[in-house]
Amino acid sequence: MKFNIAVLAGDGIGPEISKSGVAVMSAVCNKFGHSVEYTYAICGADAIDKVGNPFPEETYQICRKADAVLFSAVGDPKYDNNPTAKVRPEQGLLAMRKQLGLYANIRPVQTFECLLHKSPLKTEIVRDADFICIRELTGGMYFGEKYQDDNKAYDTNYYTRHEIERILKVGFEYAMQRKKHLTVIDKANVLASSRLWRQIAQEMEPLYPEVKTDYMYVDNAAMRMIQEPTFFDVMVTENTFGDILTDEGSCISGSMGLLPSASVGEQTPVFEPIHGSWPQAKGLNIANPLAQILSVAMLFEHFDLTEEGKMIRDAVKASLDANIRTQDIQTDNHAPYSTTQVTDWIVDYINNCEL
């Protein structure tokens, strides 16, 4: 297969982990006889500094023409600390999602046996936790009508039937592929938008009679994720709730640096880590590249190249078992490895694998 990949490194640690993703993808393509070409484009604070737009038209066109986007991170403290800034790096991320029609964000949460002690939760609680959060990505408060002045502000949590039906369909179909258990997360006791979500989900239930469907308020879901994460198989929710719950889910595995994601929809799919730009670590070569590398595994799996994805997952697991780890997940009795050292070890593992 021939891949045309758009690479958006972005800000902070983005350029460092982006190199890790590209190195691993190139190694796997070489191993399996695929060809790959990379086209690099700017986004986030880097793009604001260069052209004044966090997602310029040229970047959009590169993404639109690609088979997939390998994205890293956006965000910069100079914008975080300025609430009056009119242009922000995160606006580029939202623009990319909207312009590419990426309405479904797929975020798997899983644990690694050798890292259970790194979770802030008890080992017996997190062991065998393995679920997927499907987050609606182009609606809700992030994209609804907004207003702000010095005395009042509002964000509109707007959803249509079409938007809700298509993301629920993704949730039901993922549940069919897994343990046939779907949890619809809302706040239907308070929010009208959530009541529409629940109404439509109940209408769709009979279309998937094999799926056990339950409903949970978001505050209860946040608590249940900490008390009993193994309860969940597939959860589906709206944009804001999904953003918060998936970051909460990262503590289950022990580090945000372990969790990849895929954003899919109408145009080019995007594969990215969930951890953000971590500007404090920029240039220090200490960032965990595994979420970016596992995003490459999701990229291959999106194209039904399951063996390629499995090779990456096996390499990641082997690196963890061998204590080839960055500082965020390294044990006290082993020295931490740098971003490039972890990447090089995984690339060497892939190069030495037998097909």
The predicted-structure confidence for 233-281, as pLDDT tens digits, reads as follows 999 999 999 999 988 888 898 888 899 999 999 999 999 998 889 999 9
Q: Is 187 a catalytic residue?
A: yes
Whether residues 266 and 345 share a domain: the answer is yes
What pLDDT is stored for residue 36 in this prediction? 97
Q: Is 314 a catalytic residue?
A: no
**In angstroms, rounded to a whole number, what is the distance separating the alpha carbons of residues 55 and 187?**
33
Say if strands 2-10 and 68-73 run parallel, antiparallel, or are unpaired: parallel
> Residue 227: which H helix or E strand, with range?
helix 218-227
Q: Per the residue annotation, which of 219, 317, 321, 348 is the catalytic one?
A: 219
* Mean per-residue pLDDT, 11-33: 97
The predicted-structure confidence for 297-355, as pLDDT tens digits, reads as follows 999 999 999 999 999 999 999 999 999 999 999 988 899 999 999 999 999 999 999 88
Contacts for 123 with CB less than 8 Å, ≥ 6 apart: 116, 117
What pLDDT is stored for residue 166 in this prediction? 97
> Residue 344: which H helix or E strand, with range?
helix 339-352
The predicted-structure confidence for 116-142, as pLDDT tens digits, reads as follows 988 999 999 999 999 999 999 999 998
> Count of H helices and E strands in the chain?
13, 12
Whether residues 320 and 232 share a domain: the answer is no
Confidence label for 231 from pLDDT (cuts 50, 70 and 90): very high
Task: Please identify which residue in the block is written with the tokens 């959009």.
Answer: 60
Whether residues 248 and 299 share a domain: the answer is no
Whether residues 311 and 277 share a domain: the answer is yes
Q: What is the number of residues in the chain?
A: 355
* Mean per-residue pLDDT, 14-41: 97
Q: What rounded mean pLDDT belongs to the chain? A: 94
**In angstroms, rounded to a whole number, what is the distance separating the alpha carbons of residues 188 and 190?**
5
Q: Per the residue annotation, which of 79, 142, 174, 337 is the catalytic one?
A: 142
Residue 290: which CATH number?
Answer: 3.40.718.10
Whether residues 156 and 85 share a domain: the answer is no
Whether residues 244 and 163 share a domain: the answer is yes
Q: Is 304 a catalytic residue?
A: no
Q: Is 348 a catalytic residue?
A: no
Whether residues 249 and 264 share a domain: the answer is no
Q: What is the domain extent for residue 20?
A: 1-111+260-355
pLDDT at 81 over 80: no
Give the distance from CA 209 to its chain's centroid.
29
Whether residues 105 and 23 share a domain: the answer is yes
* Mean per-residue pLDDT, 74-90: 81
Are 234 and 183 in contact, with CB atoms under 8 Å apart?
yes
Structural domain total, the chain: 2
Are 41 and 62 in contact, with CB atoms under 8 Å apart?
yes
Structure tokens at 24: 């691993």
Q: Per the residue annotation, which of 76, 187, 233, 328 is the catalytic one?
A: 187
Whether residues 235 and 124 share a domain: the answer is yes
Are 189 and 157 in contact, with CB atoms under 8 Å apart?
no
Give the end of a domain, one of 253, 283, 309.
Answer: 253
Whether residues 128 and 233 share a domain: the answer is yes
pLDDT at 49 over 80: yes
CB atoms within 10 A of CB 217: 16
Structure tokens at 267: 């145009």
Alpha-carbon Rg for the chain in angstroms: 20
Q: Per the residue annotation, which of 247, 282, 314, 344 is the catalytic one?
A: 247
Give the end of a domain, one of 219, 237, 253.
Answer: 253
Q: Is 186 a catalytic residue?
A: no
Give the end of a domain, one of 253, 274, 292.
Answer: 253
Whether residues 132 and 105 share a domain: the answer is no
**In angstroms, rounded to a whole number, what is the distance separating the alpha carbons of residues 86 and 107?**
30
**In angstroms, rounded to a whole number, what is the distance separating the alpha carbons of residues 87 and 45?**
9
The predicted-structure confidence for 276-296, as pLDDT tens digits, reads as follows 899 999 999 999 999 999 999
Angle (nearest 5°) at CA 10 between 295 and 107: 30
Amino acid present at 343 = T
Nearest to 197 by CA among 262, 136, 243: 136
